[in-house]
Structure 1
Amino acid sequence: MCTSIFITTKDDKHVLSRTMDFSYPLNIGPMYFPRKHSWLSDSDQAQRVNTLGFLGTGRETGGTYLVSDGVNERGISIAELYLPGEAVYQSSAKPGKINLCPQEFIMWVLGTIESLEELEELLPFVNLVGKTIPELGVVVPLHWILTDTKGRSVVIEPTGAELSFKENPVNVLTNTPQLEWHIENLRNYLNVQPEQLPKVKFGDYEANPFSQATGTSGLPGGYTPPERFVRAAFFKEHIEEAENEEEAVRNSLHILGTVKIPKGIVIETTGSPDYSQFISILCNESRTIYYQDYSSNSITKVSMTDELLKQEDIKEFKVSKTLEYK
């Protein structure tokens, strides 16, 4: 579970945001990963070294780092979301390939990729090897949404041996099924609109709307991936356009507020609640991450300044996990 949206502002800022919906407590937050950060791929035990600094939402676990989303110093942003039942990985590393575990893909992209064009050329050489995350005890079925400072939005869905880009004209991503299915499904909601529906006659009786918002009566209300995709696409399409980055952050919070899951509303078969543990918002131009924890109304903002880029160590940033009042 997760929902992601991509917004372009009137002053040409590009903002990728997402909810992180999960049942297992992730306890992750904003982090800075420096240039020259060295890490070992579990796919083939190869030592990899980042060339770019980036901000991401992550945590240390078992001597390595897991990152769920982030933005690098070249203005490339990425978020991973679940694709259960459809993600396909390879069983082993392959010589001559860029071997990575799916949970390492974001670290590699943000730490080494300078443009989406560069990544598109390298994708056929990437070999994703299915490896269990010890802490979770599963091989995570992932797909990714990526954006840049040109306003391009693409999705990578590992459903075969070779990876490739899918252009994302709707700028929304949720979970299974694949992107094409969700886009086609929007054709079922052509009747949904912000405007009020007109009155209708039934014989001599003229039926008037009860109140406002009759145009939105066809919106789905559940939390399945198709329902969240439709709601996110509708709200993103019709919300008042953001003038700048600050308004894009506000719009992102309002849009994702229509799909974020409170504790207790979605219960997995294990009995655990699947809920929106945090919202992260990434601006490609300012290289900034905005983070809001489930337990707080406060937003933590971290920007990739020149001073931060000079740091040589990983840096974690504290976030509020309580309500704040004024």
Structure 2
Amino acid sequence: MCTNITLKSSDNTVLMARTMDFSFALDPEMMVYPRNFKLNFAFNEPLEHHYAFLGLSKNIGVFALADGINEHGLTAAALYFEGYATYESTVVEGKSIAPNDIVMWMLAKCKTVEDVKEVFQTHHLVELKLEFLGMIPPLHWVFQDIEGNSIIVEPLEDGIKIYENKLGVLTNSPDYGWHKTNVRSYIGLDPAQVEPRTIYGENFKAFGQGSGTFGLPGDLTPPSRFVKALYSKLSTKKAANEAELVVAASHILNNVDIPKGSVVTQRKTIDYTQYTAYMISNTQTYYYRLYDSLNTEVVNLNDFDLDGNEIIKV
């Protein structure tokens, strides 16, 4: 599961936010990766020097992360893409990346979404089973840079597809093209009230406020979360600055938050929103809230020694 949105305030501050919905306990830790901390990858030589970045991370022998922000304001997020993600099986030396390494690789090496595009155009995505999951993770990705440029990248059966992220919303399967088609079923949604009607001489008026949202899906499937997030994004008052932007994003994503017990997988595990993250490109700030807390934590990348060679636990 997972829901991702992008937003821009009236002072041109750009945000990427996401829920991390998963049925495997991640127990994430906030980690800062300085420029000289050695990064290890499945199919590539270690990177001794790279851009500094941070993100909530999972220790699987080495630290891995599903989203983060780097010193140039590039943000990245991986979302589950079950049934659609298609990878290659043959490693090409120096030209292959494991799907689970994509977020870290891009944050370490790229400044803009154009840089990200170039990596996908010159490298192969090669399947790799993660032992702690017992599977090859099916993923697609969202990237946004400090200028507000954003793309969605999906590894499909007929190749890697890169979409301009005009809607600023992504969830999970089906593919992004399908979600855009599905939006056509909901274009009548509106924050304004439905006007009263007279039918055969009888007057009918909507019950209470919110009648323009009648038909807005309420379930927690990826298609419904996509529509709910898109409607909330469209109808939410534009933020003026960073603080308002984070508040707006939190209210939008509250609509798709998954409490423990609401979704049970076929494996009888509970899929729930383990954390919600809000990343500000302009200031390289990462806000987050864990499931068991009402407090929003704030970490700024620039508060740390970015030239170090040791990972920093915050």
TM-score normalised per structure 1: 0.93
The 5-angstrom pairing of residues 101-116 of structure 1 reads 101-116=98-113
Q: Distance in 2 between matches of 1:42 and 1:96?
A: 11
**Per-residue displacement from partner, 1:162-216 (whole Å, max 9, x unpaired)?**
5352111100000001111111211111211000101122212111111111111
The 5-angstrom pairing of residues 1-326 of structure 1 reads 1-43=1-43, 46-62=45-61, 64-97=62-95, 99-160=96-157, 162-305=159-302, 307-317=304-314
SS in 2 for 1:40: coil
Identity %: 34
Q: Distance in 1 between matches of 2:235 and 2:261?
A: 30
Pairwise CA RMSD? 1.4
Q: Distance in 1 between matches of 2:31 and 2:150?
A: 24
Q: Distance in 2 between matches of 1:36 and 1:291?
A: 26
Q: Distance in 2 between matches of 1:49 and 1:90?
A: 27
TM-fit CA distance, 1:218: 1.4
TM-fit CA distance, 1:48: 2.9
Instruction: After the TM superposition, list the runs of 4 or more consecutive aligned residues in structure 1 that deviate by more than 3 angstroms.
Output: 160-164
TM-fit CA distance, 1:156: 0.7
Task: Count matched residues.
Answer: 314
Q: Distance in 2 between matches of 1:121 and 1:253?
A: 32
SS in 2 for 1:110: helix
TM-score normalised per structure 2: 0.96
The letter for the 1-side match of 2:260 is K
Q: Distance in 2 between matches of 1:209 and 1:163?
A: 47
SS in 2 for 1:197: coil
**Per-residue displacement from partner, 1:221-275 (whole Å, max 9, x unpaired)?**
0011000000000000110110001011001110000001011111111111111
TM-fit CA distance, 1:39: 2.8
TM-fit CA distance, 1:304: 1.3
SS in 2 for 1:47: coil
Q: Distance in 2 between matches of 1:283 and 1:60?
A: 24
Q: Distance in 1 between matches of 2:181 and 2:29?
A: 35
The letter for the 2-side match of 1:32 is V
The letter for the 2-side match of 1:38 is K
The letter for the 2-side match of 1:278 is Y
The letter for the 2-side match of 1:210 is F
TM-fit CA distance, 1:305: 1.4
Q: Distance in 2 between matches of 1:50 and 1:164?
A: 30
